[in-house]
Structures are given as structure tokens and as C-alpha cells.
Amino acid sequence: MLQQCGVDSILVKHQSDLTGIDGLIIPGGESTAIRKLLVREDMLENLKELVNDGLPILGTCAGLILLVQSESLAGLDAKVVRNGFGRQKNSFEEPLELKGIDHDFNGIFIRAPYISEVGPEVEVLAKTDDGRIVAVREKNVLATAFHPELTDDSSVHELFVKSIVG
């Protein structure tokens, strides 16, 4: 997706990889496993500082969960419901109206969370048809409950690069 946006990228796996980056994408997966890896690689506290210092962050699915949890990155003033749409068998796709994108975006939800509450500084960017919040922005953080990387549409990544990273 980042290549489609014309952006160079690196994999961030170690503390030293955080030096000199202009932004970070925390992908989907299993948030507990990602957090354990961040602790094991001694990256959690440094990354939390970078988020609070304004490093642009895109969190998708598990990345959203890590951005909300106070014991993780605490970069987003919100509450999240883990596996909010159900188990793996309840995965689904839904077209979303997403602020900042001029067409419906196909949200792919896999054991996805949703956001149940947002703080006063959080801008809601998208909701599902049943009204659950699934995309938000707060300062340097953009977060989605769905997996934009699983589509052919790079619009969410373009939004991140243009409006968050600059």
C-alpha cells in the first residue's frame, strides 16, 4: 500500500528501527502478541513516548487496540470493544463512508474491534451501518477497526500519508 502511495518503508522489528522514521503503521494481528513483542524488544515505552511526542501513527484492528490501551501506547482517547463484531466466523465486508475519502471504502472486518466511546478531541471518520465507530483520528493518530491493507484501494494509506504524516 505504501508503495502505491509513493512512500518508502521499512519493517520495524527492533528498537533501533524506530530511529529516523517519519511515521509508523501498527498492523492488524493479535494485539496481545504484538504488545508482548514490543515489551520483549524493549520498544513499548519508547514507542509510547514517540506517539505522545507526535509521531504519525496508523493503527489497524490490533493496532487500534494497542493505541487505546493505557498499558500499551495510550495514543487515542477512546474505549474499544475487542472482537466487537464476534468471532472469526463473523468476519464481514461493508462499504463505508469515510471522511477524507471521496468514495465508499470497502471495510474488511476480521474478528474486529469497534470503538464504543471517544474523547472530545477524537474525530469520528466512519461508522458501520448499525452505527458502530470503526475509524477515528486524534492529532497524529489515525485508527481503523478494519483492514485497509486487504483491499486494492490505498485510500486509507493515502489519507494517512497526506493528512497525518504530511
Q: What are phi and psi of 107, to 5 degrees?
A: -80, 130
Catalytic residues: 61, 147, 149
Q: Give me the average pLDDT of each 10-residue run along the chain (166 residues).
A: 89 93 93 94 95 95 94 94 92 96 97 96 97 97 96 95 79
Closest by Cα among 116, 123, 113 to 146: 113
Q: Which residue has the cell 494485539?
A: 31
115: number of Cβ within 10 Å? 24
**122 with 138: CB under 8 angstroms?**
yes
Please give the Cα distance from 91 to 96 (Å, whole number): 15
User: Given this model, what pLDDT does residue 130 score?
Assistant: 97
User: Given this model, what pLDDT does residue 127 score?
Assistant: 98
User: Given this model, what pLDDT does residue 18 score?
Assistant: 93
